[in-house]
Structure 1
Amino acid sequence: MTDIPTAGAPQPAPVPAPGSLPSVTTAPAPPASRDCPACGTANPADSTFCEACGADLVVAARASDGAHPPADVSDGTVLASATPQTAPAGEESPLDVGWTGAVPSSATAPATDDLTCHACGQGRIVDGYCDHCGTPPPNPRDHLVDSPTAWVGGVCDIGRRHARNEDAMSLSATDPPGSRAVLVVCDGVSMATDSHIASLAAAKAARAVLDQPFPKGVGTPDSWASGAARALTSAVTRANEAVAASVVEDVPNPPSCTFAAAVVEDDVVVAGNVGDSRVYWLPDAADEPARQLGRDDSFAQEQMTAGVPRLEAETGPHAHSITRWLGKDAPEDLTPHLTTLTPTPGWLMVCSDGLWNYCSEAEALRTLLHDAAARLDDATPTTLASALVDFANEQGGRDNITVALARLAGRGSSTTTTEATAAAAPVEGDPTDG
């Protein structure tokens, strides 16, 4: 009995006739390569992504054969995807999809900071030295620029011969020009131990005292001058104590330094010094003499007092031997040489011997300053101080160099009234003047 096939039931395979071979359906041979529809690059036939651009080859292949019509873009199917990345470009690994081999990345220059070596620019400062070239970092004291206000500024420089800067400078000022400023310069004694510590300690201690306004007393010029004298004397005392305390061990040559300071208060100047650091007044008017305020405590000064010409005294074998200084072994009398004056338009300068070694006379120093100002587009206290430091270095820079300047009664500085000028006339020659 013959079975009647039911609709939908599987049909039996046809039986070949006797003596004939069964027909064999041969599948089409796979292509030798698979071209990328996005960039055209030939890829191995079994590739799923283009090795050149990363496009999806499987989706593209299905879209190109007859059995898998291309999908509508609206259904969300992506025919050519963007290059997949699992790491920044140029830093991929073989495990990343789309990796095409090692490619040098565009390295970004390392950011410089305080630990980057300034000598080679490549190493880092480790334990006080560059781990690449072995150079120690620059000492901030080798070249210090300070400008607390536009009318006060200074430069402290190591010079060209010394291994370290034993000068120190400490400045402060209020914004109204001519209102109040403190300029302190201390020069460490080269033959003493750790004089760079001594000078910095002295400068900071003195400025802390001088930052306080001077007592007015009963309001007369004499009472103000007396208060200023007491303040400067107290500043020297505190500076001397700071120097003595800067090194606790007993050494044959304890730390020591010189002292020079000038204070501006309401357009009146009081200056004082111990040793051979100096204060100069350099007025603009050619008919007003430039002068050194105070005098040196040195063998050269004693020779000049005895009649020896300045050039001979200041260039002799003991020219820089000082007779008073700050430190544990300082002389008992440390009363500073004091001068008080009411300035006209001009420049107030406090400096170490690193500058006046090459230009000692006040008139010559005024000419040097005015010539430097004429060459500058903007002659500010800082730019002028830098120019004078450059001058000293050009002459040989045999010592550390410090120049602090204040611009008075000019460039916006308040002008002293006639009454105030008469009241605060110079008091040089009174008991406070050394």
Structure 2
Amino acid sequence: MTDIPTTGAPQAAPVPAADPATSPTGHPATHPAARPATGPATGLGTAVTASRDCPACGTANPAASSFCEECGADLVVAPRASAVVSGLPHAATPTGAATAPTDPDGAVLTSATPQTAPAGEESPLDVGWTGAVPSAAVVPADDEPTCQACGQGRIVDGYCDQCGTPPPNPRDHLVESPTTWVGGVCDIGRRHARNEDAMSLSASDGPGSRAVLVVCDGVSMATDSHIASLAAAQAARAALDQPFPKGAGTPDAWAAGAGRALTGAVTRANEAVAAAVEDVPNPPSCTLAAAVVEDDVIVAGNVGDSRVYWLPDAADEPATQLGRDDSFAQEQMAAGIPRLEAETGPHAHSITRWLGRDAPEDLTPHLTTMRATPGWLMVCSDGLWNYCSEAEDLRSLLHDASARLDDVTPTTVAQALVDFANEQGGRDNITVALARLAGRGSSTTTEATASAAPVEGDPTDG
């Protein structure tokens, strides 16, 4: 290639080489261009030869060329060793060593020093370009999941690269399985725009040894109740994960300690909700249902209308709802109205107690203690029991769902029950948490003592 002269700059003209016989050095030489008669030296002088051979391919190029016209090699970076300024004595140079051109005053010529071009104006060789390389097929990164909407594209920068659909919110469908005998599923359902249910589970490895199951349901009429439910579930589970005082070391002593701990967990959950949400006219709020298991002894409690069920395997042992709802429907049932009528009425899901900044003063949970036989412990939101409320009906539903499964685990059974609720319409968010218990007791069920029960006069006392 040929450099284009810079407009306005004086251009050097080559001077005919002196006769070897008259050259001070006795060798052919090229004289530098004459400088202007006035003004300081510009330092832009250039050693001139009749031609400039490429050090890479040997092609002869015009003397003023900076790059080889044949291969593109940089001719300035690698000046010819034989290009010596005439009129100056020079010492012997080791074979193969390059000599930098100098001006008559002994200064190294600027053109002999490699210069770095401004960004964006580099020679291809300056930036290491060695020619075109065939590109390989683009392989999606492992963290780019397949689009669930079209099943073809990948999620890149928050959207499908084929159909443009964003990925679902992780809370839309959650599965937890802390151990083989405890698991749960939390699902958005089919009607709501977001999932305001939350669950938090923990368990030890040994079946029936130690587990905590917490389910919270955000109140849909309040703002941002999905924040309240998650804060409450996590805070309650953290409080219940702590060891309880066992007193005399008997199951009854442990159950008493667990009941006090569960009452304290409700308080911690309510505080967590208040801290997580803003103080607005209609603040976020939620229900809470929880169960603690240790050595097959169950302590359950609830505030609101999320529920705990005991569903035993034995047909001659009754299935039971542990605790009772804080709701208008519960008040109607206490007054003698049939369950079906009460739970399908216009105000059936109006709750009378909840967690949140505007929660009622008394948040003592409805506590129940029992010793388990072989069976299932369930904690769920109303998204499930809306379609199957009676404990006996729910047991039949669970057993039928289990019979159709190849692999019966708490998680697979919970998913089957969530699928059932969605098939019925999925009008609400759905959460099902299960613990499979081998059972060592006689299924004795007792309500909490008066000191732990709601105060007299609470409308849910019946």
TM-score clears 0.5: yes
Q: Calculate the TM-score normalised by the size of structure 2.
A: 0.66
Could you list the per-position Cα deviations for residues 188-212 of structure 1 after superposition, in whole angstroms to 9, with x for gaps in the alignment?
0001111001000000000001001
Deviations 1:101-150 (A, max 9, x none): xx9x6624423424775545546543x54566442221111000110000
Question: What's 1:312 paired with?
Answer: 341
Alpha-carbon distance change, 122 to 346 in structure 1, aligned in 2, over 3 angstroms: closer
| Aligned residues between the structures | 324
1:298 counterpart residue number: 327
Percent of aligned pairs with the same residue? Answer: 81
Equivalent positions of 1:206-355 (< 5 A) are 206-248=236-278, 250-355=279-384
TM-score normalised by the chain length of structure 1: 0.70
Q: Cα offset for 1:331?
A: 0.4
For 2:131 and 2:231, locate their aligned partners in 1 and report how far apart those are by CA, in whole Å.
63
Q: Give, in whole Å, the separation in 2 of the partners of 1:190 and 1:125.
A: 32
Question: CA 1:343/1:433 → structure 2, altered by over 3 Å: closer, same or farther?
Answer: farther
Q: Which amino acid counterpart does residue 232 of structure 1 have in structure 2?
A: L
Amino acid paired to 2:201: L
Q: Which residue of 2 aligns with 1:388?
A: 417
Pick the aligned partner of 1:197 from 216, 227, 240. 227
1:317 aligned counterpart, secondary structure: coil
Q: Distance in 2 between matches of 1:349 and 1:299?
A: 23
> Is residue 155–residue 167 contact of structure 2 (8 Å, CA) maintained in 1?
no
- In structure 2, do the counterparts of structure 1 residues 425 and 220 end up closer, same or farther at CA, with 3 Å as the change threshold? farther
Which residue is 1:45 aligned to? Answer: none
SS class of match (2:447): coil
- For residues 154 and 418 of structure 2, what CA distance do their matches in structure 1 show? 31
Amino acid at match of 1:280: Y
How many angstroms does 1:389 deviate by?
0.1
**Does the 8 Å contact 2:197/2:226 carry over to 1?**
yes
Gaps of 5+ in 1: 1-92, 410-414
Deviations 1:305-345 (A, max 9, x none): 00000000000000000000000000000000000000000
Alpha-carbon separation, structure 2, partners of 1:383 and 1:110: 31
Residue 205 (structure 2) aligned to one of 175, 189, 193: 175
Matched residues in 2 for 1:369 and 1:115: separation? 33
- Could you give the per-residue CA deviations for residues 338-386 of structure 1, whole angstroms, max 9, x where no partner exists? 0000000000000000000000000000000000011111111000000
Deviation string 1:66-100 (CA, Å, 9 cap, x unpaired) is xxxxxxxxxxxxxxxxxxxxxxxxxxx9967xx9x
Aligned partners of 1:245 and 1:115: how far apart in 2? 34
Secondary structure in 2 matching 1:349: strand
Cα deviation, residue 400, structure 1: 0.2
**Within 2, Cα distance between the matches of 1:317 and 1:169?**
28
Match 1:372 to one of 387, 397, 401: 401
1-structure distance, mates of 2:397, 2:147: 37
Structure 1 CA distance for aligned equivalents of residues 164 and 308 of structure 2: 41
CA distance in structure 2 between the partners assigned to 1:433 and 1:384 by the alignment: 32
Distance 1:222 1:381, change over 3 A: closer
Amino acid at match of 2:356: G
- For the residues of structure 1 that align with 2:408 and 2:145, how far apart are their CA atoms? 34
What is the DSSP-based 3-state SS (H/G/I as helix, E as strand, rest coil) of the residue aligned with 2:376? strand
Match of 2:446 in 1: 427
Q: Deviations over 1:197-230 (max 9, x none)?
A: 1000000000001001221113344432321111
Deviation at 1:430? 3.0
Tell whether the 8 Å contact from 1:125 to 1:136 is kept in structure 2 after alignment.
no
Correspondence for 1:362: 391
Q: Is the 8 A contact 1:185 1:203 kept in 2?
A: yes
- CA 1:220 to 1:277, structure 2 compared with 1: closer, same or farther past 3 Å? same
Contact kept in structure 2, 1:172 and 1:211, CA below 8 Å: yes
Q: Would you say the 8 A contact 1:350–1:404 is kept in 2?
A: yes
Structure 2 counterpart of 1:407: 436
- Report how far residue 271 of structure 1 moved: 0.2
Amino acid at match of 1:368: L
Q: Quick one: distance in 2 between partners of 1:252 and 1:361?
A: 36
Relative distance call for 1:129 and 1:212 in structure 2 (3 A) is same
Structure 2 residue runs without a partner (length 5+): 1-128, 455-462
Tell me if 1:154 matches 2:173.
no
Rounded to whole Å, the distance in 2 between the matches of 1:190 and 1:277 is: 14
RMSD over aligned Cα, in angstroms? 2.3
Q: Distance in 1 between matches of 2:374 and 2:155?
A: 49
Deviations, residues 36-85 of structure 1 (Å, cap 9, x unaligned): xxxxxxxxxxxxxxxxxxxxxxxxxxxxxxxxxxxxxxxxxxxxxxxxxx
Change in Cα spacing, 1:386 to 1:117, as seen in structure 2 (3 Å) is closer
Letter in 1 for 2:181: W
Are the aligned partners of 1:166 and 1:400 in contact in 2 as well (CA < 8 Å)? yes
Distance 1:375 1:124 in 2: 35
Kept after mapping to 1: 8 A contact 2:370/2:445:
yes
Q: Distance in 1 between matches of 2:296 and 2:370?
A: 9
Name the counterpart of 2:168. 138
